[in-house]
């Protein structure tokens, strides 16, 4: 009997057993992976990747601008990241005369490198396990969830304050394994990072939203920055006197390219994954929440598309909004499809059952006996609140005039006692917001989105989960359209001229008029409802779930330690530095289809279409293609390789990460995943979960041959 149970465990756990490619590992603990990495082909040691005693690769990897990864590629602080990561800064520096987004930008000397106020590049200096200190005073059996949260928060404050007193570095303490482990991290925060170069969007965003999340891909998704420091070499605010940063390490660049089966690793800042959830949670995500997100966003994007296709001006105005909504929309579709094809929820249920059975086998596992049942209950209770939040954010908060009106909220509340200075500041902010808003606003789109969104909200949310505004629409108006017509006829927020006139003559006695504007009223009505009826309960349930997840995570670690002692468990991504490794290789997304592992410039020319914005190719690139002026950047097959895929377990935040070969030389920049594998944040299946990188040789080809910014190539360390 025991044998049968045991083999059942093995079968079930195999489904979630670590396959070589799965996992995002803490660099400090990489010794545990060294043997496997070397068996897979790595020629270096993990000490070369992460060391606190001498320079190592970690000294060349940064968290770029709070959301992406970047890597240093010269001894003068030259940094590479993705085009979509540098996008906001390229846009920031673009004007009508200097349209860097469209035409690209290349600083031909250091003097021409552009200052980016507020940007950061964060470099990890060291990290240490502080679990015992953070959990001091916690009794695993007796301490309640609330007490635990309080003890942990106090201990963290104390440990952090102590550490900060002894260092100039930034100190952060992060929870790993859902609150079962804590690490303290010391960071150097660089604050003078300048824009050095960017290809035109035709290259940096080639394929646009059409190709986003999809393989085969032909995007030259890179941009170039440089870190500057004070003359004594320290991270500093911008100053004219700052000098290029001399790093402890920079990545050598390989011109050798990749072959199927080659070992690679990716070093960067994955933001968030949830690989250890119970089945009920994955089911809720994939079958309840994401379908709503996908449906609502899809309807909004249809409206955008209709107007964007008609009018080139609107296409540009809504390009960034489209990209933003479309990125999640497309990804979630992939997640839902992937999980269903993989029978992911069923597999999770099998695991949950095996886990509970295991819990019943020993008295020491009492904490886990009813955990799965309790998850069922609490997620059921949570569901309406999650849906309410989803409807709110995907409908009302996508009505542009409503969220724009919200930026006048503070001004609508001033009184005659508000200091004049503060009022002036608010007016100034409002003017700025107005300018930004109208630059990219097309009212017919917004009206159509508003009517659609409110109708969807009414149709799909029960009356007691609807803000008063929506119930008023149902009761007092003939239909949603008549409310929308009235809203747009009466609000001031659709006219830049009216707003500016109003701001010119603003005095506190007029605040009321603002507060009574129907767009601002709509916003406040909906948000008040959310604050009172949704948020508190949602946070309460979420805290409860987090606490249960901590116990479940601990249980899963104990379970695997017994059932598959060889399985190493990695903590979910939490925006800390990680290493992931896997092999280069194509895959088969469906019957009869096989994807190669790389794409080429020939593929760009095949996709070329001067009438489709996403597929326009510049004359210059066509010329280089026609004359085959590839220099040393061509592959040995004679073509320019543009992108490649490999089995590295990556997620959002890994964009811009260096992808490295067996010797630790730079092969390219990670920037996306394949659509079939987007479920990898919840369930990782190595046969379809692949990361997409731009080939470094394409990057250098563009910098050197296309843009002529050869001075940048000269400062790199290139291995032919």
CB under 6 A: which stretch of 166-174, 203-211, 524-532, 632-640 binds ligand ARG? 203-211
CB under 6 A: which stretch of 204-212, 423-431, 486-494, 659-667 binds ligand ARG? 204-212
C-beta closer to ligand ASP: residue 33 or 654: 654
Residue pair 388/534 in contact by the 8 Å Cβ criterion:
yes
**C-alpha count within 13 angstroms, C-beta hemisphere, residue 685:** 21
Q: Does 506 bind ligand ARG (CB under 6 A)?
A: no
Q: Does 655 bind ligand ARG (CB under 6 A)?
A: yes
- CA–CA separation, 651 and 670 (whole Å): 10
Q: Cα angle at 569 between 565 and 574, to 5 degrees?
A: 170
- State the residue number with the nearest CB to ligand ASP: 655
- CA–CA separation, 563 and 223 (whole Å): 46
C-beta closer to ligand ASP: residue 395 or 650: 650
Least distance in angstroms from the C-beta of 84 to ligand ARG: 4
Question: Which of ligand ASP, ligand ARG, none has residue 653 at its interface (CB below 5 to 8 Å by kind)?
Answer: ligand ASP
Site string for ligand ASP, 224-263 (x = CB under 6 A): ----------------------------------------
Q: Does 672 bind ligand ASP (CB under 6 A)?
A: yes
C-beta closer to ligand ARG: residue 212 or 494: 212
Least distance in angstroms from the C-beta of 68 to ligand ARG: 8
Least distance in angstroms from the C-beta of 681 to ligand ASP: 8
C-beta closer to ligand ARG: residue 103 or 327: 327
Least distance in angstroms from the C-beta of 656 to ligand ASP: 7
Q: Does 678 bind ligand ARG (CB under 6 A)?
A: no
The tokens describing 177, both together, are: 């394994």
Q: Does 691 bind ligand ARG (CB under 6 A)?
A: no
Pairing of strands 718-719, 253-254: parallel
Least distance in angstroms from the C-beta of 80 to ligand ASP: 14
Taking the C-alpha atoms of 570, 572, 575 and 579 in order, what is their torsion angle to the nearest 10 degrees? 30
Kindly name the residue from 84, 560, 641, 665 that is annotated as catalytic: 84
Print the SS3 string covering 595-648. Answer: ECCEEEHHHHHHHCCCCCHHHCCCHHHHHHHHHCCCHHHCCCCCCCEEEEEECC
Residue pair 651/271 in contact by the 8 Å Cβ criterion:
yes
Least distance in angstroms from the C-beta of 453 to ligand ARG: 22
Binding ligand ARG by CB under 6 A: which of 179, 652, 668, 686?
652
In the region spanning residues 56 to 85, those forming contacts with ligand ASP, defined by CB under 6 A, are 68
Count the site residues for ligand ASP by CB under 6 A: 10
Least distance in angstroms from the C-beta of 203 to ligand ASP: 17
Q: Does 120 bind ligand ASP (CB under 6 A)?
A: no
Least distance in angstroms from the C-beta of 58 to ligand ARG: 23
Site string for ligand ASP, 137-176 (x = CB under 6 A): ----------------------------------------
Known catalytic membership, residue 495: no
Buried b (16+ CB within 10 A) or exposed e, 455-491: bbbbeebeeebbbebbeebeeeeeebeebbeebbeeb
- CA–CA separation, 531 and 241 (whole Å): 49
In the region spanning residues 638 to 657, those forming contacts with ligand ASP, defined by CB under 6 A, are 650-655
Print the SS3 string covering 402-439. Answer: HHHHHCCCCHHHCCCCCCHHHHHHHHHHHHHHHHHHHH
Q: Cα angle at 179 between 657 and 63, to 5 degrees?
A: 20
DSSP type of residue 259: -
Kindly name the residue from 192, 209, 211, 221 that is annotated as catalytic: 221
Question: Which of ligand ASP, ligand ARG, none has residue 212 at its interface (CB below 5 to 8 Å by kind)?
Answer: ligand ARG
Question: Which of ligand ASP, ligand ARG, none has residue 651 at its interface (CB below 5 to 8 Å by kind)?
Answer: ligand ASP
What is the DSSP track for 120-168? Answer: -EEEEEEEEE-HHHHTTT--TTT--HHHHHHHHHHHHHHHHHHHHHT-S
- Count of Cβ atoms closer than 10 Å to residue 614 Cβ: 17
Question: Which of ligand ASP, ligand ARG, none has residue 323 at its interface (CB below 5 to 8 Å by kind)?
Answer: ligand ARG
Binding ligand ARG by CB under 6 A: which of 58, 76, 84, 554?
84
Known catalytic membership, residue 168: no
What is the DSSP track for 194-257? Answer: EEEEE--HHHHTTTHHHHTT-SS------EEEEEEE-TTS---S--TT-EE---S----EE-S-
Question: Which of ligand ARG, ligand ASP, none has residue 654 at its interface (CB below 5 to 8 Å by kind)?
Answer: ligand ASP
- CA–CA separation, 137 and 276 (whole Å): 27
The tokens describing 597, both together, are: 């592992």
**In Å, how far are 406, 485, 673 from 514, measured between CA atoms?**
10, 19, 45
Least distance in angstroms from the C-beta of 256 to ligand ARG: 27
Q: Which residues pair with 183 in a beta bridge?
A: 129, 174
C-beta closer to ligand ARG: residue 278 or 326: 326
Helix (H, G, I), strand (E, B) or coil at 702: helix
C-beta closer to ligand ARG: residue 228 or 684: 684
C-beta closer to ligand ARG: residue 291 or 328: 328
Q: Does 208 bind ligand ARG (CB under 6 A)?
A: yes
C-beta closer to ligand ARG: residue 346 or 440: 440
Count the site residues for ligand ARG by CB under 6 A: 11
C-beta closer to ligand ARG: residue 64 or 530: 64
Question: Which of ligand ASP, ligand ARG, none has residue 705 at its interface (CB below 5 to 8 Å by kind)?
Answer: none
Binding ligand ARG by CB under 6 A: which of 212, 412, 455, 461?
212
Kindly name the residue from 407, 655, 657, 693 that is annotated as catalytic: 655
- How far is the first Cα of the chain from the last one, in angstroms, to the nearest whole number? 61
Known catalytic membership, residue 221: yes
**In Å, how far are 9, 256, 377 from 372, measured between CA atoms?**
17, 50, 9
Question: Which of ligand ASP, ligand ARG, none has residue 685 at its interface (CB below 5 to 8 Å by kind)?
Answer: none
**C-alpha count within 13 angstroms, C-beta hemisphere, residue 21:** 24
C-beta closer to ligand ASP: residue 308 or 650: 650
C-beta closer to ligand ASP: residue 224 or 280: 224
Write the CB contacts of 221 (distance below 8 Å, at least 6 apart in sequence).
82, 83, 84, 204, 205, 655, 669, 671, 672, 694
Question: Which of ligand ASP, ligand ARG, none has residue 209 at its interface (CB below 5 to 8 Å by kind)?
Answer: ligand ARG
Residue pair 120/189 in contact by the 8 Å Cβ criterion:
yes
Q: Does 323 bind ligand ARG (CB under 6 A)?
A: yes
Least distance in angstroms from the C-beta of 672 to ligand ASP: 5
Read off φ and ψ for residue 503, nearest 5 degrees.
Answer: -65, -35
Least distance in angstroms from the C-beta of 85 to ligand ARG: 8
Per CB under 6 A, residues contacting ligand ARG are: 84, 205, 208-209, 212-213, 323, 327, 652, 655, 672
Per CB under 6 A, residues contacting ligand ASP are: 68, 650-655, 671-673
Q: Which sequence positions are flagged as catalytic?
A: 84, 221, 655
């Amino acid at each position: 009997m025991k044998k049968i149970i045991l083999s059942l465990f093995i079968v079930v756990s195999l489904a979630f057993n670590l396959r070589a490619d799965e996992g995002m590992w803490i660099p400090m603990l990489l010794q545990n992976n060294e043997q496997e990495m070397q068996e897979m082909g790595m020629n270096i040691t993990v000490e070369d990747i992460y060391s606190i005693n001498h320079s190592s690769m970690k000294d060349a990897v940064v968290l770029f601008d709070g959301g992406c990864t970047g890597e240093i590629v010269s001894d003068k602080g030259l940094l590479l990241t993705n085009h979509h990561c540098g996008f906001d800064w390229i846009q920031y520096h673009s004007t009508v005369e200097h349209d860097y987004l469209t035409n690209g930008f290349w600083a031909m000397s250091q003097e021409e490198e552009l200052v980016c106020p507020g940007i950061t590049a964060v470099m990890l200096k060291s990290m240490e396990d502080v679990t015992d200190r953070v959990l001091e005073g916690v009794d695993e059996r007796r301490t309640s969830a609330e007490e635990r949260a309080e003890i942990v928060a106090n201990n963290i404050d104390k440990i952090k304050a102590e550490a900060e007193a002894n260092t100039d570095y930034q100190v952060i303490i992060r929870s790993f394994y859902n609150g079962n482990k804590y690490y303290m991290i010391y960071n150097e925060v660089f604050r003078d990072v300048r824009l050095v170069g960017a290809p035109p969007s035709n290259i940096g965003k080639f394929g646009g939203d059409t190709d986003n999340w999809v393989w085969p891909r032909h995007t030259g998704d890179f941009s170039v920055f440089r870190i500057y420091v004070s003359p004594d070499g320290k991270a500093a605010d911008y100053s004219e006197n700052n000098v290029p940063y001399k790093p402890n390490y920079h990545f050598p660049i390989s011109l050798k390219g990749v072959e199927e089966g080659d070992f690679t690793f990716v070093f960067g800042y994955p933001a968030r994954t949830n690989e250890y959830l119970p089945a009920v949670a994955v089911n809720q995500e994939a079958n309840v929440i994401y379908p709503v997100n996908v449906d609502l966003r899809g309807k909004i994007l249809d409206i955008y598309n209709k107007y964007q296709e008609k009018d080139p001006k609107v296409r540009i105005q809504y390009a960034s909004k489209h990209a933003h909504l479309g990125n999640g929309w497309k990804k979630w579709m992939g997640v839902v499809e992937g999980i269903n094809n993989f029978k992911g929820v069923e597999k999770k249920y099998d695991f949950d059952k095996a886990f509970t059975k295991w819990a019943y086998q020993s008295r020491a596992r009492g904490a886990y006996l009813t955990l799965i049942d309790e998850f069922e209950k609490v997620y059921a209770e949570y569901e309406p609140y999650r849906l309410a939040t989803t409807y709110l954010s995907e409908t009302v908060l996508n009505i542009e005039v409503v969220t724009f009106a919200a930026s006048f909220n503070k001004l609508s509340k001033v009184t005659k006692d508000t200091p004049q200075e503060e009022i002036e500041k608010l007016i100034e902010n409002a003017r700025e917001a107005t300018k930004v808003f109208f630059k990219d606003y097309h009212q017919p789109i917004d009206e159509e989105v508003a009517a659609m969104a409110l109708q969807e909200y009414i149709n799909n949310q029960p009356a007691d989960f609807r803000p008063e505004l929506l119930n008023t629409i149902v009761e007092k108006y003939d239909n949603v359209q008549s409310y929308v017509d009235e809203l747009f006829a009466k609000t001031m927020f659709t006219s830049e001229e009216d707003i500016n006139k109003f701001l010119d003559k603003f005095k506190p006695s007029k605040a009321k008029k603002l507060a009574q504007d129907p767009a601002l009223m709509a916003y406040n009505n909906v948000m008040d409802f959310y604050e009172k009826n949704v948020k508190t309960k949602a946070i309460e349930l979420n805290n409860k779930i987090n606490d249960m997840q901590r116990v479940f995570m601990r249980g899963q670690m104990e379970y695997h330690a017994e059932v598959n002692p060889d399985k190493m468990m990695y903590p979910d991504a939490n925006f800390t530095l990680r290493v992931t490794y896997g092999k280069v290789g194509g895959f088969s997304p469906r019957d009869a289809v096989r994807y190669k592992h790389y794409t080429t410039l020939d593929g760009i020319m095949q996709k070329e279409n001067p009438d489709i914005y996403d597929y326009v190719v510049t004359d210059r690139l066509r010329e280089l293609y026609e004359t085959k002026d590839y220099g040393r950047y061509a592959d040995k097959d004679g073509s320019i390789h543009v992108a490649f895929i490999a089995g590295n377990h990556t997620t959002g935040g890994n964009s811009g990460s260096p992808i490295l070969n067996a010797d630790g030389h730079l092969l390219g920049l990670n920037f996306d995943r394949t659509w079939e594998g987007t479920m990898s944040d919840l369930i990782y299946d190595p046969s379809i979960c692949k990361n997409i990188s731009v080939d470094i040789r394409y990057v250098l080809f563009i910098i050197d041959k296309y843009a002529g910014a050869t001075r940048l190539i000269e400062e790199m360390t290139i291995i032919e």
